[in-house]
Amino acid sequence: MLAAHILKRVIRDGQLRVVDADGKVHLIGPGPGPVPTIRLHDHRLHRDLFLNPKLRFGEAYMEGRLTVEDGTLYEVLDLVTRNIAALESHPLQRVQLLLGRMLHFIHTHNPVGRAQKNVAHHYDLSDTLYDLFLDKDRQYSCAYFATDNDSLELAQSNKKLHLASKLLLEPGQKVLDIGSGWGGLGLYLAKLMNVDVTGVTLSTEQHKVSEQRARDAGLSDRLRFHLRDYRLQQGPFDRIISVGMFEHVGTKHYREFFRKVKELLTEDGVMLLHAIGRMDPPGSTNPWLRKYIFPGGYTPALSEVFRAVEDVGLWVTDVEILRLHYAKTLREWHRRFDANRDKIRALYDERFCRMWEFYLVGCEVAFRNMGQMVFQMQLSRRQEAVPLTRDYMVDFERAMQARSSAAA
DSSP letters along 169-201, please? --TT-EEEEES-TTSHHHHHHHHHH--EEEEEE
Residue 145 phi, psi dihedral angles, 5° rounding:
-95, 105
Query: Which amino acid is present at 1?
Result: M
**CA–CA distance, 259 with 80 (Å, rounded to integer):** 40
Torsion of CA 194, 198, 203, 206, to 10 degrees: 20
Under a CB-based contact definition with an 8 Å cutoff, are residues 317 and 383 in contact? yes
Residue 363 is among the residues annotated as catalytic for this protein? yes
**CA–CA distance, 222 with 164 (Å, rounded to integer):** 17
Query: Which amino acid is present at 263?
Result: E
Q: Quick check: bond before 53 cis, omega within 30?
A: no
The H or E element spanning position 225 is: strand 223-227
The H or E element spanning position 102 is: helix 91-102
Q: Which positions ≥6 away from 324 have C-beta within 8 Å?
A: 367, 368
**CA–CA distance, 93 with 86 (Å, rounded to integer):** 10
Annotated catalytic residue, options 363, 366, 377, 386 = 363
**CA–CA distance, 388 with 317 (Å, rounded to integer):** 9
**CA–CA distance, 268 with 337 (Å, rounded to integer):** 43
**CA–CA distance, 353 with 341 (Å, rounded to integer):** 7
N- to C-terminal Cα separation, the chain: 64
DSSP letters along 134-180, please? S-TT---S----SSTT--HHHHHHHHHHHHHHTTT--TT-EEEEES-
Catalytic residues: 363
